[in-house]
Amino acid sequence: MSQAEHTAPSDPSRKPFQYGLRWLFFWPLIFAVLVGTDGFGPIGFRYPHAVENQPLKHPVRIVSQRGERWTLADGRSIDVSSFRDQQELTDRLRYSEMLVDVEADDERADGPLEIYVKSRQFICGLPWCRLINIPLIPDAVPKNRRESIGCGRIVATEDVAVRTNPSEVSSTP
């Protein structure tokens, strides 16, 4: 058989737009599957966007530090026992802008306190990892977290008592 016999003439029963209509329905279906399976499929449209935040609930500035005794801006004086060495503690306080969050572990006024600072956290990109990633939709991810750096106790001194409760100070000589 010759080459001409193997090639059949074009089929007259086929319509000119038959394949065009198939593709017209096929591509939107593929697009809908890819968008619908954004979190599970091979193509992702989201990306992490790190956002500056303040994780401390009630931040208080440290006014002075003398060894393990800290004086806070609200007048409290705290004896601190830190979980970290002095250089790391200084670095953490510097990053936290000398702001701490002090929480009582129980309801007693002289009970133990937990001391927190602002700390930078690692942002893992694995949840946004896809075979093909098209960064269209940002996911806001906080940069900082609240981290415990130690515990302490409130020290009752006269200076603190005068500043916190002025009605106890006698005005008579």
Grade residue 17 by pLDDT with cuts at 50, 70 and 90: low
Distance CA 52, CA 140 (A): 10
The pTM score is 0.64
* Residue range 65-120, pLDDT digits in tens: 888 888 999 888 898 887 678 888 889 899 999 999 998 876 666 678 899 999 99
Kindly report each contact of residues 54-58 with a partner whose C-beta sits within 8 Å and lies 24 or more positions away, as own/partner. 54/118, 54/144, 55/118, 55/142, 55/144, 55/145, 55/146, 56/96, 56/99, 56/100, 56/101, 56/116, 56/117, 56/118, 56/146, 57/101, 57/103, 57/146, 58/101, 58/102
Q: HSE of 144 in the Cβ direction (CA atoms, 13 Å)?
A: 17
Contact 128, 43 (CB under 8 A): no
Average pLDDT over residues 57-72: 90
Contact 51, 140 (CB under 8 A): yes
Measure Cα distances from 17 to 12, 13, 14, 26 in Å.
13, 12, 9, 14
